[in-house]
Amino acid sequence: MAKVLIVGCGDVGSRLALRLVVAGHEVFALRRSAFSLPGVQVLQGDVTDPASLRFPTGLDAVFVLLAPGEPGEEAYRRVYFEGTQHVLAALAGQKLTRLFWVSSSSVYGQEDGSWVNEDSPAAAGSATGQILLQSEQLLQSLPWPATVLRFAGIYGPGRLRLPRWVQAGREVQVHPIAWTNRIHVEDCAGLLAFLFEQQRKGTNLASVYIGVDDEPAPQHEVLDWLAGRMGLPRVAHVSRPGAASNKRLSNGRISALGYQMQFPGFREGYAAVMGWQDEIR
């Protein structure tokens, strides 16, 4: 049994915590507001307030899953960069086997529709993406190994941006193709739990993994499929010469390690989210 801390126990963190409890680990979880989870020892604190960060000793592993709660460069810097600094300071003296830090695929600035993997240059085109990269770099001088998970397009229960897009009837870009990448929230938790167990087995983990499903897809293809299943008109297709076509993210590294997606594509994932249990590809 391992002693694990989850810093930032929101949607993904809560799902991860419950998985680790079921696996028999001792789990501590921190969140800004009061909460409860079966079998989890809860802590209340705010990463932007270092005085509130009081962690148990003897930790084996730490997961850091931060979220600013609001958009913008200032919020990202306060939570991701300064918050990570505060967390690392509060962990001083611990002898961790590994720290896992959740990031975003927005650190990749590619916009030409090309395939991107962990060896591709990470040169964020946005200010918030640059702050994420700067925050990741804080992990390079730790006394323990660290692994970064870069997730893209998290969706699941309560995360219904695309179904609402269809309901609103907003147009979608079809030329150039607007490539999209996503991962179901259960696979986010599953990936983190999988990497933790691989670490415990002695597997040599990489410093970075991309967390996406098996199927990058054009945005209009996803919306058209959702519209058909929802019984709604297909949203208008438009061409925008010079518009970004985005990127296609590969999960080859995590797949080669042995992780199998519970929801390998958007059809399976949205079928589960929307209650369409009869969905077949």
Q: Where are the domains of the chain?
A: 3-274
Q: Is 113 left (phi over 0), alpha (psi -120 to 50) or beta?
A: left
Report CA dihedral (272, 182, 69, 79) to the nearest 10 degrees: 140
At residue 42, the pLDDT reads 95
Strands (E) across 182-264 are located at 183-184, 208-211, 217-218, 237-239, 246-249
User: Mean pLDDT over all residues of the chain?
Assistant: 95
Read off the pLDDT of each residue in 131-146 and give the average, rounded to a whole number.
Answer: 96
User: How many whole angstroms from its chain centre is CA 214?
Assistant: 15
- Cα-Cα-Cα-Cα dihedral sign, residues 269, 272, 276, 281: positive
Could you give the 3-state DSSP secondary structure of residue 164? Answer: helix
Assess contact for 190 and 19: CB atoms under 8 A.
Answer: yes
Nearest to 157 by CA among 190, 127, 185, 196: 185
User: Cα separations (Å) of 27 from 36, 42, 70, 147, 172?
Assistant: 12, 8, 28, 19, 43
Helix axes 266-274, 161-168, angle to 10 degrees: 80
From CA 1, how far away is CA 4, in angstroms rounded? 9
From CA 156, how far away is CA 171, in angstroms rounded? 23
At residue 280, the pLDDT reads 43
Overall CATH class of domain 3-274: alpha beta
From CA 44, how far away is CA 29, in angstroms rounded? 8
At residue 70, the pLDDT reads 84
pTM recorded for the entire structure: 0.95
At residue 14, the pLDDT reads 97
Is the confidence at residue 211, as pLDDT, over 60? yes
pLDDT in tens, 2-17: 999 999 999 999 999 9
pLDDT in tens, 164-195: 999 999 999 999 999 999 999 999 999 999 99
Nearest to 126 by CA among 92, 79, 76: 76
Read off the pLDDT of each residue in 80-106 and give the average, rounded to a whole number.
Answer: 97
Is the confidence at residue 131, as pLDDT, over 50? yes
Is the confidence at residue 281, as pLDDT, over 50? no
At residue 156, the pLDDT reads 96
From CA 11, how far away is CA 16, in angstroms rounded? 9
pLDDT in tens, 231-263: 999 999 999 988 888 999 999 999 999 999 999
Phi and psi at residue 54, in whole multiples of 5°? -125, 105
Helix (H) or strand (E) run with residue 73 in it: helix 73-76
Read off the pLDDT of each residue in 53-63 and give the average, rounded to a whole number.
Answer: 97
From CA 189, how far away is CA 202, in angstroms rounded? 20
